[in-house]
Homo-oligomer: A and B are copies of this chain.
């Protein structure tokens, strides 16, 4: 399998000249707007082509932005008086959300003023507003949320979707998740020909629910035209493995798996901390082991994999974890930037065209650019 480097679209010369325009909801995260602006500044240093539309209370945001020289001339604040809170129900937000920073951030993408929207806010509300403002792509009844998970693969991460846009998925939904996951792995991780696996309770063909058997046939039939490799059923233990690049599942199972993995990692991290602090001798050993422990901490730092991507909409939305600090926000913005540079929204829409399966369909030539190099 050929894999591209970290920057899958560095040869897309036509995009390089234009700045990347990110639409950032500054409000609604657990740590408030300062974590968002600090993360923007950190990310802006390494990405001189990034520009920001920042949505929220201007009186609060202007001084925060002014603190960072690196942001000078690169941020336009769009005032929005209201904030979607973590407690707001999606239905309320859909009726009354028009004056919120979240709505404003999405509207900028809809209006073509920005390439990708980013928010640390309430996931349910963000998905509901995204469907309202950006609309679903034709033929996509169920959008999906895709996340990156640390793995043994050379790219360092696997993709899993859906992790919670909807609690169920029919065989046709799972098929579309495979196509969307392919496009995301290619543009977000630079994998020319991703390996797709379908989550099940065993790898044998007879295992699992009926809709999974139907989905397996549909996905296998798409593999050649959509240029992915179908590896068959995978299990929960394969999420961090190198057997697969993209794990396809329904939003209920994916959400439980994601939170189970996070919970397990958090539990082990807390035991590791306890192991190296529980006795005076252990605390001395911790000093000697600073190097290896630091390496491990960086390798499993959940902040570096921050950013769930909403797929299947008329624009790309990156959902940062609500509790993200500046490191987490910067990671989500990096991801958004990479997707914007690769012109991901347009390529994903093409990928989901009904003409996909036809080998000589007009969409296919566009599609060849996806991922840069094969």
* From B206, B257, B285, contact of A256 by CB (8 A): B257
Residue of B nearest to A251 (CB): B201
Residue of B nearest to A255 (CB): B201
Number of interface residues of A (CB under 8 A): 60
- Check A272 against B259 for contact (C-beta < 8 Å): no
CB 8 Å contact bits of A270-306 with B (1 = contact, 0 = none): 1110011011011011101111110110011000000
| Alpha-carbon distance between A263 and B264 when the two chains are bound, in angstroms | 10
Q: Give the chain B neighbours of A286 by CB distance below 8 A.
A: 289, 292
* Segment at the interface with B among A29-37, A64-72, A102-110, A236-244: A236-244
Residue A167 lies at the interface, judged by CB distance under 8 Å to chain B: yes
| Alpha-carbon distance between A307 and B275 when the two chains are bound, in angstroms | 26
* From B208, B237, B288, B292, contact of A260 by CB (8 A): B237
| Alpha-carbon distance between A267 and B272 when the two chains are bound, in angstroms | 15
| Alpha-carbon distance between A42 and B77 when the two chains are bound, in angstroms | 69
Cβ of A308 to closest chain B Cβ, rounded Å: 13
Residue A127 lies at the interface, judged by CB distance under 8 Å to chain B: no
Q: Give the chain B neighbours of A279 by CB distance below 8 A.
A: 291
| Alpha-carbon distance between A206 and B256 when the two chains are bound, in angstroms | 17
| Alpha-carbon distance between A252 and B208 when the two chains are bound, in angstroms | 8
Q: Give the chain B neighbours of A259 by CB distance below 8 A.
A: 235-237
Residue A28 lies at the interface, judged by CB distance under 8 Å to chain B: no
Q: Give the chain B neighbours of A47 by CB distance below 8 A.
A: none
- Check A289 against B288 for contact (C-beta < 8 Å): yes
Cβ of A32 to closest chain B Cβ, rounded Å: 23
Q: Give the chain B neighbours of A208 by CB distance below 8 A.
A: 167, 252
Residue A261 lies at the interface, judged by CB distance under 8 Å to chain B: yes
Cβ of A147 to closest chain B Cβ, rounded Å: 13
- Check A282 against B275 for contact (C-beta < 8 Å): no
- Check B289 against A285 for contact (C-beta < 8 Å): yes
Residue A225 lies at the interface, judged by CB distance under 8 Å to chain B: no
Residue A258 lies at the interface, judged by CB distance under 8 Å to chain B: yes
- Check B265 against A236 for contact (C-beta < 8 Å): no
Q: Give the chain B neighbours of A6 by CB distance below 8 A.
A: none
Residue A372 lies at the interface, judged by CB distance under 8 Å to chain B: no
Residue of B nearest to A163 (CB): B201
Cβ of A282 to closest chain B Cβ, rounded Å: 5
- Check B296 against A291 for contact (C-beta < 8 Å): no
- Check B268 against A265 for contact (C-beta < 8 Å): yes
- Check A252 against B282 for contact (C-beta < 8 Å): no
Interface centre among A164, A249, A284, A285 (most CB of B within 10 A): A285
Residue of B nearest to A295 (CB): B275
Cβ of A69 to closest chain B Cβ, rounded Å: 37
Residue A253 lies at the interface, judged by CB distance under 8 Å to chain B: yes
- Check B271 against A296 for contact (C-beta < 8 Å): yes
- Check B267 against A296 for contact (C-beta < 8 Å): no
19 contacts between A and B (CB under 8 A): A167-B201, A167-B209, A201-B251, A235-B263, A236-B261, A239-B260, A239-B263, A240-B263, A260-B264, A264-B264, A265-B268, A271-B299, A275-B299, A282-B292, A284-B288, A285-B288, A285-B289, A285-B290, A289-B292
8 closest Cβ contacts across the A-B interface? A236-B259, A237-B263, A236-B260, A288-B288, A275-B292, A240-B267, A275-B296, A289-B289
